[in-house]
Amino acid sequence: MSVAFAGNSTPGSSREAGPLRVMVVDDSVVIRGLIARWIGAEHDMEVAASLRTGLEAVNQIERINPDVAVLDIEMPELDGISALPRLLAKKRDLVIIMASTLTRRNAEISFKALSLGAADYIPKPESTREASAADIFHHDLIQKIRHLGARLRRKPAVASPPLAPASPASAARGPAVARPAAPAPAGHAPSSALSTRPFSTQAPKVLLIGSSTGGPQALMALVTELGPVIDRFPVLITQHMPPTFTTILAEHLARTSRKPAAEAVDGEPVKPGRIYLAPGGKHMRVVRSGADVAIALDDGPAVNFCKPAVDPLFTSAIDIWHGAILSVILTGMGSDGMRGGKDIVAAGGSVIAQDEATSVVWGMPGAAANAGICAAILPLNQIGARVNRLFAGDRS
């Protein structure tokens, strides 16, 4: 049994001051050692335990009492997806980040994990010997631990239910979102205190959506309400996700919305009635192709540490639709979408941001809200109705 403990803790202490306590659960000694070194180098987190199997994690969770668990999917004795509900049953407010290699099976399992209560997922590189892949994994993992752990400490000590993928039946009752309001992060004003600007006087001709951490659940809830818009206008989405994961997300969006949804293909025309999703590992832009509008994918460098990134989509759309753009920025870390949103507003378009209380991480929408570019800052379950009204001619 590979168990390493750091410090002592008692149940219920996860919100006390001090470093975030992280439990690393992975059957690879190399990955465990790598993650432990990265965490140990950060001033605001520490390795609470390093474990080889999900069964060890379940048996030791109450003694370790971590704030965050990085949980591998494929392990002996008890795999990650089986350990997940048992861990949450013993510690309801545990932040669980699923880690997996980039396979279709693992992508499907990661989506299932989100519906079971995992906070997020992270793809592990096929080989940590490739410097660029290891650097991205390092950066993304530390940021996810920090931001998701910080949100845990801001919340009241009441567990919130997971964001389950919406279905047509559940859509009638509204998106499955029940997250308590939380104080604003440092540098952010509360949503209610932020100023907004008027919506554009131009009728929108396209809907652009950007999202990251928490985005898959938010997107699946939102698209159930956008049928009238999707039927008449193109909808383009950039979700921060790796290859394979975006393939699965597109399939989920198609089933949930009951509308055509797929990863965008380079050169394909942009038409009403379809949802275009930026494929993992490629930036998605729109360009003129004769009298038509077409998708343009590129393999350029990451933007805002992301690929695909939201800003390239937002800024490229201005050359096509000018001010007739409605953009929505959903939950996510960082500030991607804010600069592109500024450009859209300067061109005469509008931006809606998801509010903090319903965001898993209020980074991207918070950056847009604090920049003063938003016409509305709304809970997730109000965004769809507002979007429908705007495309139907309501300018308020």
Q: How far apart are CA 25 and CA 71, in angstroms?
A: 5
Residues 6+ apart with CB under 8 A from 354: 218, 328, 329, 330, 331, 362, 365, 377, 378, 379, 380, 383
Query: Is 336 among the catalytic positions?
Result: yes
The answer to whether 67 touches 22, Cβ cutoff 8 Å, is yes
Which of 26, 67, 120, 336 is flagged as catalytic?
336
Up-side HSE of residue 149: CA atoms within 13 Å toward CB?
A: 26
Work out the angle at residue 89's Cα, subtended by the Cα atoms of residues 83 and 95, and round it to the nearest 5 degrees. Answer: 75
DSSP state of 20: E
In angstroms, what CA-CA distances link 182 with 156, 190, 355? 8, 9, 11
Total residues belonging to the chain = 396
Radius of gyration of the chain, Cα coordinates, nearest whole angstrom = 21
Phi-psi domain of 18 (left: phi exceeds 0; alpha: psi -120 through 50; beta: other): left
Identify whether the C-beta of residue 258 lies closer than 8 Å to the C-beta of residue 231: no
- For Cα atoms 150, 36, 70, give the angle at the middle one, nearest 5 degrees: 55
147 is catalytic: no
Question: What is the Cα–Cα distance from 332 to 364, expressed in whole angstroms?
Answer: 5
Rounded Cα gap, residues 170 and 164, in angstroms: 10
Among 14, 50, 240, 350, the active-site one is 240
Contact 313, 339 (CB under 8 A): no
| Residue 89: half-sphere exposure toward Cβ, Cα within 13 Å | 8
- 269: helix, coil or strand? strand
In angstroms, the CA 109 to CA 111 distance is 5
Catalytic residue, chosen from 100, 211, 212, 359, is 212
3-class DSSP state for residue 117? coil
Active site residues: 212, 240, 336
